[in-house]
């Protein structure tokens, strides 16, 4: 029986073909053992990037007349092929990321579900938000023209996969299937921490496109361990939009490169977030131990490598908060060390926690279980500090990616509100309290509405439901544009723009705007939703 390792080519998959001269190579590493894996992967150059985008640009024109049924069939095929090839994909992803098999199995299910959700959205057509205002030639003092507007795809999309979600936010992740639903071709830069996983998933997509009879240039995946290929993607004149999930430094570099182009393009980057948790006095008094248990579980989910990991907690100083802290330390002490996704993340976590604990006034109050012999792993760390320190040391707001968090003692609720108003943008904010307390803390809620993309009440921010109502975004530095989500079906709006048609004959209009509504789709017609 062949293994995934022996069937990997190590080449790019560009327009349906394996390509790459492999003059420069890199390998994946098993983070649990620290040992490199067998297959060498080609480093992409500017020729590879240029070819992928030329094919994508050509495919874009062809995709604009493809029936929605064919796009939906493609996305269903991708979902089915992910499931049928899931065992090999999961095995390789486990080797490259050290994420548990059960977690990867759940993530693959989510990835297939996302593809199906966008297939249904493509069929439904509501995302196009068709609007029609009929002509009124007899209107005085001026005739009213016939005006119709619909959302259409923007062009070739460059996707940068996330290290912490090798399936759901990677080659076949939300960005790719959302772009496909909008009839946009995609060029993915595979993540260098899981190149084998990227190749296996890219094959699924490429083979599904061939099955559907769609242009092969609709999808390409290039591999690279450095920054040059990614910057070449962003700067290429045929790239229309960029999707990125990763660090603040990486996202900002791509954003700046895109803004410096002769023709700037949007970069939808999801970056750093501390995801504050506010514990109101009533919740601390009544549920300290319950909240502590859930908090430690949330903090250590995926070894703390979730973009929504709760990196700071704020509560009013007193016996109730002290009880919460004791319960947190007790729960944290039993958490075993866990391998992180790759050595770079591990080093950044160690540097980050050392930096925080070296700040005068910040105390390392407790930690997880001690590490046994073997490759370096992440140890859960719980720090405490007085909330007044934040105003003097704003670097405390910087994200440390991994299973560490700082619990701040506030003088009173007014200080909690002051911190909420001054904190930077975040993907999430969480409030624990009673319903009566929440009603009294209207100012705190208003402050968090301005600072976070998703506000959680009496829950925890980790774990996302990728549905139509979810918004996974937030003000800078959480993202580069707080309007757009990177998870859920509303992600399609990253890849579309409105196009207005005035005075056109019906036969030349997009289907969504034709008078008889042949698909049919819901539309706003002369101010009425029909």
CA distance 78 to 204: 6
Expressed in angstroms, the distance from the first to the final Cα of the chain is 56
**222: nearest Cα among 81, 386, 11, 63:** 11
* Catalytic (active site) residue 437: no
Residues ≥6 apart with Cβ < 8 Å to 125: 68, 512, 519, 521, 522
CA distance 170 to 202: 10
The 3-class secondary structure across 222-291, one letter per residue, is: ECCCCCHHHHHHHHCCCCCEEEEECCHHHHHHHHHHHHCCCCCCCEEEECCCCCEEEECHHHHHHHHHHH
- Indicate which residue of 42, 198, 307, 380 is catalytic: 307
CA distance 144 to 102: 60
Residues ≥6 apart with Cβ < 8 Å to 118: 75, 177, 178, 180, 181, 489, 492
* Cis ω for the linkage preceding 520 (within 30 of 0): yes
What are the angstrom distances between the C-alpha of 128 and each of 86, 108, 149, 520?
33, 28, 9, 12
* Catalytic (active site) residue 515: no
Q: Interior CA angle at 285 toward 279 and 290, to 5°?
A: 70
Question: 496 and 511 in contact (C-beta within 8 Å)?
Answer: no
- Indicate which residue of 96, 270, 418, 511 is catalytic: 270
Would residue 414 be called left, alpha or beta, if left means φ above 0 and alpha means ψ between -120 and 50 degrees?
alpha
* Strands of the 528-529 sheet, one edge to the other: 496-502, 147-153, 131-133, 524-525, 528-529
Phi, psi of 314 (to 5 degrees): -130, 130
Give the pair of three-digit tokens for residue 86. Answer: 């899931």
Positions marked catalytic: 270, 307
């Amino acid at each position: 029986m062949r293994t995934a390792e022996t069937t990997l080519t190590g080449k790019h998959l560009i327009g349906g073909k394996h390509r790459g001269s492999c003059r420069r190579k890199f390998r994946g590493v098993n983070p649990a053992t620290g040992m490199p894996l067998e297959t060498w992967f080609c480093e992409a150059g500017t020729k590879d990037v240029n070819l992928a985008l030329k094919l994508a640009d050509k495919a874009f024109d062809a995709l604009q007349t493809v029936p929605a049924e064919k796009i939906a069939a493609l996305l269903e095929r991708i979902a089915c092929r992910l499931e049928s090839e899931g065992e090999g994909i999961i095995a390789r992803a486990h080797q490259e990321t050290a994420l548990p098999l059960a977690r990867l199995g759940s993530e693959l299910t989510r990835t297939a579900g996302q593809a199906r959700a966008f297939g249904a959205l493509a069929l439904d057509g509501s995302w196009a938000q068709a609007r029609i205002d009929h002509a009124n030639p007899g209107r005085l003092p001026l005739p009213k023209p016939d005006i119709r507007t619909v959302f259409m795809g923007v062009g070739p999309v460059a996707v940068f996969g996330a290290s912490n979600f090798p399936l759901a936010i990677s080659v076949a992740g939300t960005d790719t299937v959302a772009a496909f639903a909008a009839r946009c071709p995609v060029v993915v830069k595979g993540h260098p921490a899981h190149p084998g996983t990227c190749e296996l998933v890219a094959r699924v997509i490429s083979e599904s496109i061939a099955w559907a009879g769609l242009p092969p240039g609709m999808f390409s995946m290039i591999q690279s361990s450095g920054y040059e290929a990614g910057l070449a993607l962003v700067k290429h004149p045929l790239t229309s939009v960029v999707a990125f999930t990763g660090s603040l430094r990486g996202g900002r570099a791509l954003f700046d490169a895109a803004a410096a182009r002769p023709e700037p393009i949007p970069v939808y980057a999801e970056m750093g977030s501390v995801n504050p948790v506010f514990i109101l006095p009533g919740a601390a008094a009544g549920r300290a131990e319950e909240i502590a248990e859930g908090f430690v579980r949330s903090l250590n989910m995926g070894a703390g490598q979730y973009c929504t990991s709760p990196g700071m907690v704020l509560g009013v100083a007193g016996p109730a908060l002290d009880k919460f802290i004791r319960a947190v330390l007790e729960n944290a002490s039993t958490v075993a060390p866990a391998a992180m996704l790759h050595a770079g993340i591990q080093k950044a976590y160690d540097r980050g926690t050392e930096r925080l604990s070296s700040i005068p006034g910040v105390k390392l109050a407790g930690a997880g279980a001690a590490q046994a012999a073997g490759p370096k792993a992440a140890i859960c760390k719980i720090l405490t500090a007085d909330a007044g320190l934040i105003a003097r040391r704003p670097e405390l707001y910087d994200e440390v990616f991994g299973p560490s968090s700082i619990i701040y003692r506030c003088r009173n609720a007014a200080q909690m509100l002051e911190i909420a108003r001054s904190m930077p943008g975040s993907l999430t904010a969480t409030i624990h309290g009673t319903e009566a307390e929440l009603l009294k803390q209207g100012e705190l809620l208003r402050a968090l509405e301005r600072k976070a993309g998703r506000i959680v009440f009496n829950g925890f921010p980790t774990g996302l439901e990728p549905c139509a109502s979810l918004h996974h975004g937030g003000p800078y530095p959480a993202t580069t544009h707080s309007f757009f989500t990177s998870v859920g079906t509303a992600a399609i709006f990253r890849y579309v723009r409105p196009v207005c048609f005035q005075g056109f004959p019906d036969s030349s209009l997009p289907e969504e705007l034709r008078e008889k509504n042949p698909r049919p789709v819901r539309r706003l017609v002369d101010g009425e939703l029909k």
